[in-house]
Structure 1
C-alpha cells in the first residue's frame, strides 16, 4: 500500500474518532451531572472543586469511550468510502480488503496503547484520587452547608435542625441538635444562635453555640440539664471515612499482590483476577473492533452514516452485554475469571474473521444487507414524504 493511501485511510478514521470520543465522553458525563450539580447548588461546593472531580473521573470514562469511538470511526470511515465508491476504486487499483487493514491496525495499536496506559495507571489513580478528594475536601465543605427547616444528618452521629442559616457567614439561629455519638448518654441541645467553623486540615467542624441548654439522660432514671451562654461542640469528620478502596482502585502491583496473598478471601480473589484481566481485555477491544469494523463498513454501501452509527451502537451494546455476562459467570465461578473477562473479545474476533472472509471474497452478509436495505428504504421513504409535504 502506498503512503498516500495509508495516510488517506488513517485520516478518514482519525476525524470521526476524536469527534466520537468527545460525544461518548460527554454522554457518560451527563449521567453524573445531576449529582455534581447538587454539590454546587445544595452543598455550596466551589465549581473548581467539581472540575477536579470531573478530571479524576475522566480515566474511567476514557477507558470505555476510546474503544467505542474507534469502532464508530472505522464504521463511518469505511462506510463513507464504500458509499462514494472509493472502495471499488481501491480494489480496481489492486488494493484488496487485507491491504486496507494496515492503517486501521496502526490506529488500533495507538488506541490500544493509550487505553492500556489509562487502564493500568490512570484508572486506579483517578478512582483513588476521586474518593480521597470527595472524603477529605468536598465532604468537609459540604458539611458546612446546612439546609434550613429540615433535619440534617450530614454530621456523623448528629441530627441538626436550624430555623435560619447564613450561607456567607455560616451563622445559624433557632438550633436543635440531637447527639447520639455516645449511645449510652444521648443528649439534645437547644440554642438561640451559633456559628459553624470548619477546620479542613483537621477534618473537624466546630459548632459555636450561644444561649442554650443541654438535656442529657444517663441510664434509665438520671436526667441532667445544663444551661450555657456559650458552648463549643466539636465534630470530627474523620469517622465518616471508611475503607473505600476496592479492586477497581488497586494498581497493577496491588492486584498481583492480592492474588498471591495467602488466606485471601476467595470471592475477592476472583474479583481481583477478573479486574486484572479486564485491564488488558478492554483495551484489546480496539484490535477486535478493527477486524470487525472494516468488513462491516465496506458492506454498508447504501445506508451511509446512519447505517454506520446504528451498527456501532448495536455492536457496542452487544459487546458490553457480553462483557457484563462474562464478569457475572466469572464471579460465580462458572468459568475461570480470565475466560469471563476475555469472552467478548473471543466471540467478536471470531465474528470479525468471518466478516473479513466474506468481504475478501466479495460475498454479501445477509443480516448486514437486510439492515442496510431497511435503513436505505427508511431514508428514501422519509425523503419522499418531505418532498410531498
Structure 2
C-alpha cells in the first residue's frame, strides 16, 4: 500500500523532476536558437515553422539528458529533506532504509517506464520532424553521395558507384554484377547513370554488358540502356541521423535492409536501438544512487550534494560516450556498449545501498 509518506516523497520527486525538465528545456532551446538564428534568417524559415521545430527539439534534448535530469532532481529534493532533518525523523521512527527507498522505487520506476515508451516510439517521431526542418532550413543541401559506394541489392545483385551528383542527377563509373553461387551471370558497366523519378528507372550511358550462360558468353556495347534497380539515389548517401528518426520497429527494418546491402556502420544503429532501453534503466540506477548519496545530512549541504551529483552525471555521460565510440569505431558489441555504463554504475549503486542498510 502506498501511504501518505510515500505520496509526500513521490510528489516532491515528480514535482522537482518536472521543474528540472522545464528549466533545462528552456535553457537548451535558447542556446539552440542563438546557434541557429543565422540559418533561420538565411533560409527564410517562417516563425510558425520555428515554433514547430522547437516542439520537436524539446523531446529530443529531454530524452538525450533524461538520466541527468532524474539524477539531479533526486539529489536536489532529497538533500533538502535531509537538511530539514525529515529523513532523520523518518528513520528514527523505526522505519528501515529499505522502507525509505520504496517511494523512490515507485516514483523512479514510473518515470523510467514512461520514458521507455517515449524512447521507442514518441521521441523518434519528434526527431524525424526535427531533422526534416534542419535539412530544409539549417543544413546545406547534400550535393554528392558518398564515394566508392558498394551495395548489395539482393542475394544475387551487387552494384558499385564511384559517386552521384545530386545537383545534376547523374552518377559516374557505375557497375552491377549478378552472381549465383560462384558463377558470374552478368556484369554491366556504364560511364554515367541518371535516375528517372517519373518511371522509377535508371538510364545508363556507354554501357558494356557481359552475360554468361554456362560456357556461352555474350558481350554487348550499347550507347544507352534503361533498367530498374531496387534503390533510390538517396540510398547512396549514408545519413546516420535516420537512426534517431525511426521508431524501434522501423529501425529494425532499416537494420535488416542495411545489413543486406553490406553497410559497414551497422553498430551505430544497434547502439541506438539498445540505448533506448538502457537509458531509462540508467535513470532508475542513478535515482537510487542519488537517494543514497543525498539522504545523509552533511556539512556542505545541498551544494555539496549537487556537486557530487553533477560529477557522477558527467562520469556516466563520459562512460556512455566512450562505450559508443568503441562500438562504432572499434567493433565493441553494441549490446555491451549500451549497457556497460549501467553495469558499472549499478555496482556503485549496490555498494552505496549496502553501506546505508548495514
Per-residue deviation, 1:42 = 4.0
Aligned residues: 270
Match of 1:45 in 2: 45
**1:214-273, Cα deviation, whole Å (9 max, x unpaired):** xxxxxxxxxxxxxxxxxxxxxxxxx9xx77453222221122224444534353321221
Q: How many angstroms apart in 2 are the aligned matches of 1:82 and 1:156?
A: 59
Distance 2:322 2:267 in 1: 15
> TM-score w.r.t. structure 2 length?
0.67
Question: How far apart, CA to CA, are the structure 2 residues paired with 1:155 and 1:273?
Answer: 25
User: What are the residue-to-residue correspondences of 1:18-167 with 2, within 5 Å?
Assistant: 18-135=18-135, 138=137
Q: Deviations over 1:182-234 (max 9, x none)?
A: 7xxxxxxxxxxxxxxxxxxxxxxxxxxxxxxxxxxxxxxxxxxxxxxxxxxxx
* Aligned partners of 2:267 and 2:331 also within 8 Å: no
SS at match of 1:299: coil
Q: Which runs of 5+ in 1 are unaligned?
A: 143-152, 158-180, 183-238, 362-389
Secondary structure, in 3 states, of the residue corresponding to 2:260?
A: coil
CA distance in 2, matches of 1:300, 1:266: 54
2:246 is aligned to: 250
**Aligned-partner Cα distance in 2 for 1:272–1:155:** 21
Instruction: Give the alignment of 1:167-316 within 5 angstroms.
Output: 244=239, 245-261=241-257, 263-265=260-262, 267-316=264-313
SS at match of 2:332: coil
Segment drifting more, 100-109 vs 303-312: 303-312
Does the 8 Å contact 1:72/1:308 carry over to 2? no
Partner of 1:348: 345
Deviation at 1:344, TM superposition (A): 1.0
Whether the 8 Å contact between 1:21 and 1:68 is mirrored in structure 2 is no
From 313, 316, 320, give the equivalent of 1:319: 316
* 8 Å contact from structure 1 (residues 247, 255) kept in 2: yes
Give yes or no for contact 1:271–1:331 (8 Å, CA) kept in 2.
Answer: yes
Greater Rg over alpha carbons, structure:
1
Residue by residue over 1:51-82, the C-alpha shift from the partner in whole angstroms, topping out at 9 and shown as x without a partner, is 11111212211213433221112112221222
The alpha-carbon distance between structure 1 residues 253 and 155, as it changes in their structure 2 partners (threshold 3 A), is closer
C-alpha displacement of 1:135: 4.3
* 1:329 and 2:326 aligned: yes
Per-residue deviation, 1:278: 0.5
Q: How far apart, CA to CA, are the structure 2 residues paired with 1:316 and 1:64?
A: 13
Distance 2:3 2:87 in 1: 17
Q: Secondary structure at the match of 1:263?
A: helix
1:311–1:253 CA distance, 2 compared to 1 (3 A):
same
Q: CA deviation at 1:85?
A: 1.7
Say if 1:2 and 1:114 are closer, same or farther in 2 by CA, change over 3 A.
closer
Q: 1:350 to 1:266 in 2, by over 3 A?
A: farther
CA distance in 1, matches of 2:57, 2:271: 21
Per-residue deviation, 1:359: 1.4
Q: Is the 8 A contact 2:83 2:302 kept in 1?
A: no
CA deviation map 1:128-162 (0-9, x unaligned): 212324446x47xx9xxxxxxxxxx98989xxxxx
1:6 positional shift: 0.5
Aligned-residue offset at 1:90: 0.9
Distance 2:254 2:40 in 1: 38
**Aligned partners of 2:74, 2:348: CA distance in 1, in Å?**
16
8 Å CA contact 2:265, 2:328 repeated in 1: no
Unaligned ranges ≥5, structure 2: 145-166, 169-233
Q: Which has the higher mean CA deviation after the structures are superposed, 255-264 or 16-25?
A: 255-264
Answering whether residue 5 of structure 2 is matched by residue 5 of structure 1, we say yes
- The root-mean-square deviation of aligned C-alpha atoms, in Å, is 3.1
CA contact (8 A) 2:70 2:283 kept: yes
